[in-house]
Amino acid sequence: MKQIHPHALFRLSVLGPLASRDRLEQGELKRLLRELSTQSYAIPNSRKVFLSEKTIEGWYYAWKRDGILALTPKPRSDRGLSKMSDAIQDAVCIAKKENPRRSLRIIRQVVGASGLPGATKLSRSSIHRLLQTQGISNLPGSAVQPVERRSFVAARAGDIWYGDVMHGPKVIINGQVRKAYLVTFMDDASRLITHSAFCPAETALEVEGVLKQALLKRGLPIRLVVDNGSAYRAATMQAICARLEIRLIYCRPYTPEGKGKLERWHRTLRGGFLGELDMDKVRDIHDLNARLWAWLDECYHKEPHSALNGLAPLERYRMDLIQIRPLGQFASRLDELFLHRHERLVRKDGTVSYEGQRFEVPFDLIGKTVMLVVDPHKQKVLGVEASNGDSLGKATPLDQLANCRRKRRSPAPDDADNRSRSGTNLVEMALDRQTRTLCGAVVPFAEVV
């Protein structure tokens, strides 16, 4: 019996609500297609989790026409064939063999300059297919030779953590239906998820928030491996790891293999959690996270793992508890390490601005540049500091109505005021001289002085 292709079985499972119906009422097909397109799927050999209505509709009509065999992926009819002339094919192969480091663009230019008919119309894809068919795409010395990669595992839990973001399902966030993003940190040696949460965005703020919870729950890793996304490249993220003595390591661009264990866990999550999730029962993102954390604690962390010789992730992690770096001296000031600092110039009215709001700082700081200390997770301004970290005082929200009734502090008298009070005043001396003159007693000005 011929084996059914796994992709065909997956596509048929997607068509379940349609394939099980003998007859569809008018408008029902469109409604069902819309419902199916909003669900998430564990798509084979793909990082995507959603399918378009057009794709599902194409599968449906193909299945109705020819059954499940029509859902089997069709290879290209011209696979392995080339439409180039023999002369051009020979020129492409020679150009590659002469210099294995030549790129497709350079080979195209070299062959195009040969003057052969049709040589100037070559495409990069056709050259690439020909080189692969001939087995000379990755010649020794080629710039595109495979990078040497070896499977490894950390010796102890806490030696290496991985961090990454995965696109999640759409859910209610702050009253609106929006896509959620799953931020995750995983321990290499035990495959334990140190912390994971669905967030409203994939910015540095969300990544730092999940990292903070992971540190509180599982201690300090020695190394943290992440990709090159802007969230991980943020100065705040780098400063946090530097202060906590965590080595922040970036994977090479476009090489997700560097975090293969975490990528594999994403597949497990799509099938074991998202595949079983009933979105009709999920009220909002908080409800989604509650289900995620329950699934992690009750299912994933307790299930035997083939890569751990049958041990469960939590069981393997507990074997190294005594060797994991505790927070130690950082425990009492972990909140402080995750604060953000923004440089601000104090205005003449003694205020600084943050996120469209104005805050009053000590009046003595007018005209000076200060560091505004902010708790980004609570969106709360705490105070101001000098560049060396010394506290300069609190920062309070500006209340203009209260300031209308507030008594101002009078400026301290200057030297001119002190001189006038002491009686030595040139204006008074001139008046006194004029008075004496009018009275008939001319007194030299020097004598008055």
Sign of the Cα torsion 209, 215, 218, 222 reads: positive
Number of Cβ atoms within 10 Å of the Cβ of 301: 19
Here the contacts of 62-69 (C-beta below 8 Å, separation 24 or greater) are 63/11, 63/12, 63/15, 63/19, 68/4, 68/8, 68/9, 68/12, 69/8
Burial of 140: CB neighbours in 10 Å, binned 0-12, 13-18, 19+: exposed
Q: How far apart are CA 357 and CA 418, in angstroms?
A: 41
Cα separations (Å) of 433 from 423, 425, 429, 439?
15, 13, 6, 10
Please name the residues in contact with 263: beta carbons below 8 A apart, sequence gap of 6 or more. 164, 256
Q: How far apart are CA 249 and CA 239, in angstroms?
A: 13
| Residues linked to residue 162 through DSSP beta bridges, in sequence order | 186, 225
Are the beta carbons of 265 and 241 closer than 8 angstroms? no
Q: How far apart are CA 193 and CA 316, in angstroms?
A: 12
Q: Which is nearest to 372 in space by CA: 382, 380, 360, 384?
A: 384
Are the beta carbons of 332 and 326 closer than 8 angstroms? no
Cα separations (Å) of 311 from 155, 304, 322?
15, 5, 18
Q: How far apart are CA 345 and CA 367, in angstroms?
A: 6
| Residues linked to residue 391 through DSSP beta bridges, in sequence order | 385
Residuewise pLDDT in 10s, the chain (449 residues): 556 788 888 888 888 888 777 788 888 888 888 888 888 888 888 878 888 999 988 988 988 888 888 888 877 665 556 678 888 888 888 888 888 878 888 888 888 888 888 778 888 888 888 888 878 877 666 555 555 566 667 889 999 999 999 999 999 999 999 999 999 999 999 999 999 999 999 999 999 999 999 999 999 999 999 988 888 888 888 888 988 999 998 887 656 566 788 888 999 999 889 988 899 999 999 999 999 999 999 999 999 988 898 899 999 999 999 999 999 888 888 888 888 888 899 998 889 888 888 998 888 888 889 988 888 888 888 888 887 778 888 888 888 777 777 666 666 655 555 554 555 577 777 777 777 777 665 555 455 44
pLDDT for res 448: 47
Are the beta carbons of 48 and 79 closer than 8 angstroms? no
Q: How far apart are CA 65 and CA 25, in angstroms?
A: 19
pLDDT for res 177: 93
Please name the residues in contact with 191: beta carbons below 8 A apart, sequence gap of 6 or more. 261, 265, 305, 307, 308, 313, 316
Matching residue, tokens 């953000």: 340
**Residues in the chain, total:** 449
pLDDT for res 76: 64
Range 339-398: architecture per CATH: Beta Barrel (2.40)
Q: Which is nearest to 272 in space by CA: 301, 312, 299?
A: 299
Q: Which is nearest to 305 in space by CA: 295, 314, 318?
A: 314
Domain layout of the chain by residue ranges: 6-71, 86-134, 160-323, 339-398, 421-448
pLDDT for res 291: 95
Are the beta carbons of 213 and 188 closer than 8 angstroms? no
Are the beta carbons of 392 and 341 closer than 8 angstroms? no
- Chain centroid to CA 212: how far? 15
Q: Which is nearest to 155 in space by CA: 207, 110, 190, 106?
A: 190
Total-model pTM: 0.59
DSSP line for 333-372: GHHHHT-EEEEEEPPTTSEEEETTEEEE--GGGTT-EEEE
Specify the DSSP class assigned to residue 308: G
Are the beta carbons of 98 and 137 closer than 8 angstroms? no
Strand order in the sheet with 357-360: 351-354, 357-360, 396-397
Specify the DSSP class assigned to residue 159: S
Are the beta carbons of 142 and 100 closer than 8 angstroms? yes
Are the beta carbons of 163 and 184 closer than 8 angstroms? yes
Q: H or E segment at 225?
A: strand 223-226
Are the beta carbons of 388 and 397 closer than 8 angstroms? no
- By three-state DSSP, how is residue 129 classified? helix
Q: Which CATH code, of 3.30.830.10, 3.10.150.10, 3.10.129.10, 3.30.420.10, is assigned to 160-323?
A: 3.30.420.10
